[in-house]
Amino acid sequence: MSRIRDIGQLMKFTLSFTVVFSSVVCYLMVPDISFDLTSVLLLFTAGMLVTGSANAINQATEKDTDALMKRTSSRPVASGRMSVDMAWTFALITGVSGIVLMASYFNATSAVLSAFSLFMYGFVYTPLKKVHSIAVLVGAIPGALPCLIGWVAGSEEFSAGGWILFALQFVWQFPHFWAIAWVVYADYGKAGFKLLPSAEGPTKYAAIQAVLYSVILIPIGVLPYFFGMSGLTSLVIVLIANLYMLWRCLALFRKMDVGSARGVMFSSYIYLPVVLLALLADKVSN
């Protein structure tokens, strides 16, 4: 049981589940796709394998820095419960298995996108975190690609719907990650991570950036309605969710404290499932 728990930590099961959830929802939003349990389970499994592989690479690479931070020191590789070689072996097996599964059951395009996402997260974003805050921009690409992967897996093409969903999750990540970086700024500092947009750390500049990106989310949120992907009900829900995110980011700008940053962080956790499920429910009902 302890080994199973370690594997769950290695692949960051909760985070992976959230990422794959967005991919499955976007797959089901493709106009000609109806719910099929086998397809959903296969997409979920492939997504968990690829995402778990990326997270394993992240932990194998950041073993020493994870050991310095309170929130990550208990991870299996950082704590010494699992060897780096075992983590890399796990990453190789799960990554290849997930990509092959995507190619075999869905299509080659979605498999290539999955491989690209894995590479970007594990080998570009992960080392870049110590170099420059542009890592958040780079990391937002593999962070949003599950939406496009799910769409392409169902439609077999790069169409407007997939790009809109990609854009929605791409922009959402900026206030989300900056809020996390604000809350754990001291811990990230120990590891040398540079994830806030200001080199000085939690500043007004960082807060206004979160506000600006939450504003950008508003017009992106109405695109599904204007492209016929959803109806009026989801438009209203998405608009309310966007305004709530903006309100939380404005509170951070006004108060400049960890409590407000934590408010943005938790709001962003709620935002994504609410928006995606609202869009999917509208598609199903129509």
198 and 135 both lie in a single domain: no
Residues 116 and 7 in one domain: yes
123, 204: one domain: no
What CATH number corresponds to the domain at position 61? 1.10.357.140
Residue 154 is which amino acid?
Answer: G
Spatial separation of the C-alpha atoms in residues 139 and 261, rounded to whole Å: 20
Do 168 and 251 contact (CB within 8 A), yes or no? no
Please name the amino acid found at residue 130.
Answer: K
How many Cβ atoms sit within 10 Å of the Cβ of residue 254?
Answer: 10
One-letter-per-residue 3-state SS of 41-104: HHHHHHHHHHHHHHHHHHHHHCHHHHHHCCCCCCCHHHHCCCCHHHHHHHHHHHHHHHHHHHHH
The pTM (predicted TM-score) of the whole model is 0.92
Residues listed for the chain: 286
- CA dist list (Å): 278 to 231, 238, 244, 275, 285: 10, 7, 15, 5, 11
| One domain, residues 17 and 131 | yes
Reading phi first (left if > 0) and then psi (alpha if -120 to 50, else beta), residue 201 is in left
Question: Does 163 lie in the same domain as 276?
Answer: yes
**pLDDT score of 271:** 95
Interhelix angle 204-226/258-285, nearest 10 degrees = 10
Which of these three, 107, 138, 156, is where a domain ends? 156
Does 260 lie in the same domain as 192?
yes
Residue at which a domain ends, from 126, 156, 186: 156
Per-residue pLDDT for the chain (286 aa), expressed as one digit of tens each?
Answer: 688 888 888 998 888 888 999 999 999 999 988 889 999 999 999 999 999 999 999 999 989 888 888 888 888 899 889 899 999 999 999 999 999 999 999 999 999 999 999 999 999 999 898 888 888 999 999 999 999 999 999 998 999 999 999 999 999 999 999 999 999 888 888 878 888 888 788 999 999 999 999 999 999 999 999 998 888 999 999 999 999 999 999 999 999 999 999 999 999 999 999 999 999 998 877 7
Residue 176: CB atoms within 10 Å: 25
What's the token pair of residue 22?
A: 């967005």
pLDDT of residue 188: 82
Same domain (yes/no): 151, 237: no
One domain for residues 50 and 172: no
Number of domains in the chain: 2
Choose among 253, 261, 241, 33: nearest CA to 151.
33
* Statement to judge: residues 45 and 170 lie in one domain: no
Whether 92 and 178 map to the same domain: the answer is no
Asked which of 115, 131, 156 is the last residue of a domain, the reply is 156
Range of the domain at 201: 159-286
Amino acid (1-letter code) at residue 79: S
User: Residue 157 gets which letter from DSSP?
Assistant: S
Name the token pair of 198.
């200001």
143/200 same-domain check: no
Residues 5, 9: Cα–Cα separation, whole Å:
6
Q: Do 28 and 142 fall within a single domain?
A: yes
- Residues near 284 by beta carbon (within 8 Å), at least 6 away in sequence: none
